[in-house]
């Protein structure tokens, strides 16, 4: 039973991390570039609309579920440390929880909140938007890499 649970969590986490990496990759490679080419008020309005809609979408159950699965895999890997795949489970879960979840909560969400508080057409919003594009995208790159590497580590654990 324990092996079935672990395998199920690994499959869910590997696929969830892969999906999350894809979402973040899209933002890092073309969505934010496109928004950055818009005038400041339109770019800010579009990003704020995305930030409102994303928390109401299927993104959130996947975001939270994959985080819980990653944390559970850290615990399961620690409990069966001497078994094949345990180190990959711990590394994948830790990388995902810290590199994706913690980065999101501690860095990307506060940037989103600051952007939401800005008056899109005000002169002050120009500086907020420029900093947002630079800082948010940097941390989104971190989330992309962490999600992709965690997915790969979970696949390694499955293959062990």
Q: Which pLDDT value is given to residue 3?
A: 84
Q: How far apart are CA 129 and CA 111, in angstroms?
A: 10
Q: What is the Cα 56 distance to its own chain's centre?
A: 16
Residue 120's φ and ψ, nearest 5 degrees, are -50, -35
CB 85 within 8 A of CB 13: no
Average pLDDT score, the chain: 96
Average confidence (pLDDT) per 10 residues, the chain, 160 residues: 88 98 97 96 97 96 98 96 95 98 98 96 92 97 98 97
pTM for the complete prediction? 0.93
Q: Which pLDDT value is given to residue 110?
A: 98
């Amino acid at each position: 039973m324990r092996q079935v649970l672990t395998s199920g969590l690994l499959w869910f986490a590997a696929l969830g991390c892969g999906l999350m990496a894809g979402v973040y990759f899209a933002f890092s490679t073309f969505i934010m570039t496109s928004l950055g080419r818009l005038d400041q008020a339109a770019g800010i309005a579009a990003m704020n609309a995305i930030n409102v809609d994303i928390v109401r979408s299927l993104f959130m159950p996947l975001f939270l579920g994959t985080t819980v699965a990653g944390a559970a895999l850290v615990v399961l890997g620690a409990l069966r440390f001497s078994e094949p795949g345990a180190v990959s489970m711990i590394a994948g879960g830790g990388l995902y929880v810290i590199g994706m979840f913690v980065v999101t909560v501690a860095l990307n969400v506060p940037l989103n909140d600051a952007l939401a508080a800005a008056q899109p057409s005000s002169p002050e919003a120009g500086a907020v938007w420029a900093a947002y594009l630079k800082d948010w995208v940097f941390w989104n790159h971190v989330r992309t890499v962490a999600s992709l590497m965690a997915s790969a580590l979970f696949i390694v654990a499955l293959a062990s």
